[in-house]
Amino acid sequence: MQMMDGLKLDELEQYFIINKIENIKDGVRLYVHPVQSFREIRKFLARLSNDFDIELRSVYGEFILELKRRRERIWINIVLLIATIITTTVMGAMMYERFDIIGGFIFSLAVMFVLGTHEMGHYLTARKWGMKTSLPYFIPFPTIIGTLGAVIRHRGAIPNRKALFDVGSSGPIVGIVASIIVIVIGLQLEFIPPKREETIILGTPILFDLIINIMGYEKEFIHPVVFAGWVGLFITFLNLIPVGQLDGGHILRAMIGKKAEVVSRIIPILLMLSGFYIGYAYNVDSSIWIFWGFVTLFFSMHPHPEPIDDKTPIDLKRKILGIFVFLLAFMCFTPVPFQLKSI
């Protein structure tokens, strides 16, 4: 018996005795009694959540299951995309001697390419595994680059640890490649820095220095496009911190299973301690690591969702790739990302 598109009554009856069915807006409400363990029911509902918004609650001892067909609102993605292009263009235009809208737009393209490539890596890999995921949501905000980055929303179950690893690692890998491309292009562009009383000194990670040396770049200032690539490396490092549902958390969870939760609890403390040490040792403002320690502490409080198949480990190739990705993260790290200097 067909009940909703993509959902059959006999499929539900494997997990519940169905006492009553009511039609509601965009879905159905069922009054049910469980006949399977809640672990099996959770796995079943996780699979359904690829296509439905699900609510299971108990009222006076009776279980009520509501299933609503999920509606995508792509217009939100489009509006945020346009708004972020505007904010990144404006902030980029302010990096020149005079407000340069063309230069700002070029900077915007570089930033959006780096951030968008990262998120599309996640998106396409998730789709390859049959997982439901949204298009990227860009976040416009008047920061130094005009955005707080981009996110995508994963919906539904994670099939297995291989899928978790692939989705978690794909974004950082293609994001680093995109950042390198942007840096290489930017190093070949001429740039006259604006005359100001203060300038931003960027800390350069190992990977950035390696690219600079290979390209033979010896100038004191860099083009805003290069800065966009530097931002990509910095964001990649932050994403690869192995905590909670950050990309690094996904990768480590896939590699070592539930033991990753122990690491996830320790890392925020290490970040905060590192912030205090860097501030003392270098006599600089290192509040960014203390702040990020609190951010990751919040992430660590939320247990990582279990894949449906959490027993089958990932293969050796993925384990080696995981170690390589964390090595890349180390090469994207700089103790003092940026500081203001009077000129």
For 107, the enclosing helix (H) or strand (E) is helix 101-128
Give the integer Cα–Cα distance in Å for 172 and 49.
26
> Which pLDDT does position 1 carry in this prediction?
42
Give the integer Cα–Cα distance in Å for 157 and 293.
29
> Which pLDDT does position 329 carry in this prediction?
96
> Which pLDDT does position 197 carry in this prediction?
65
Comparing 1-5, 10-14, 293-297, which segment has the lowest mean pLDDT?
A: 1-5
Let me know if 271 is exposed, middle or buried by CB neighbors in 10 A (0-12, 13-18, 19+). Answer: buried
Give the integer Cα–Cα distance in Å for 231 and 111.
8
Q: Angle at which helices 206-215 and 316-331 pack, to 10 degrees?
A: 80
User: Mean pLDDT across the stretch 297-316?
Assistant: 89
Give the integer Cα–Cα distance in Å for 315 and 161.
10
Give the integer Cα–Cα distance in Å for 180 and 25.
49
Give the pLDDT band of residue 2 (cuts 50, 70, 90): very low
pLDDT in tens, 84-140: 999 999 999 999 888 999 999 999 999 999 999 999 999 999 989 988 788 899 999
Q: Does residue 342 have a pLDDT over 80?
A: no
Supply φ then ψ for residue 285, to 5 degrees: -80, 115
> Which pLDDT does position 4 carry in this prediction?
57
Supply φ then ψ for residue 16, to 5 degrees: -140, 150
pLDDT in tens, 224-241: 999 999 999 999 999 999
Domains in the chain and their CATH numbers? 2-69 (3.30.1360.100), 74-342 (no CATH)
> Which pLDDT does position 6 carry in this prediction?
57
> Which pLDDT does position 51 carry in this prediction?
72
HEC letters along 15-54: CEEEEEEEEECCEEEEEEEECCCHHHHHHHHHHHCCCEEE
pLDDT in tens, 13-65: 888 888 888 888 878 888 988 888 877 887 787 777 767 778 888 877 788 88
HEC letters along 160-223: EHHHHHHHHHHHHHHHHHHHHHHHHHHCCCCCCCCCCCEEEEECCCHHHHHHHHHHCCCCCCCC
Task: Show the CA angle centred on residue 310, arms to residues 309 and 311, nearest 5°.
Answer: 95
User: Mean pLDDT across the stretch 152-165?
Assistant: 86
Radius of gyration of the chain, Cα coordinates, nearest whole angstrom:
24
Residues 6+ apart with CB under 8 A from 220: none
- List the one residue out of 256, 234, 238 whose CA is nearest residue 299: 238
pLDDT in tens, 176-212: 999 999 999 999 998 887 777 677 788 999 999 999 9
pLDDT in tens, 249-293: 999 999 999 999 999 999 999 999 999 999 998 888 888 999 999
Reported for 240-243, long-range contacts at CB under 8 A and 24+ positions apart, including other chains, are 240/172, 240/325, 240/326, 240/328, 240/329, 240/332, 241/267, 241/271, 241/292, 241/296, 241/329, 242/267, 242/326, 243/267, 243/268, 243/296, 243/299, 243/300
Per DSSP, the three-state class of 327 is helix
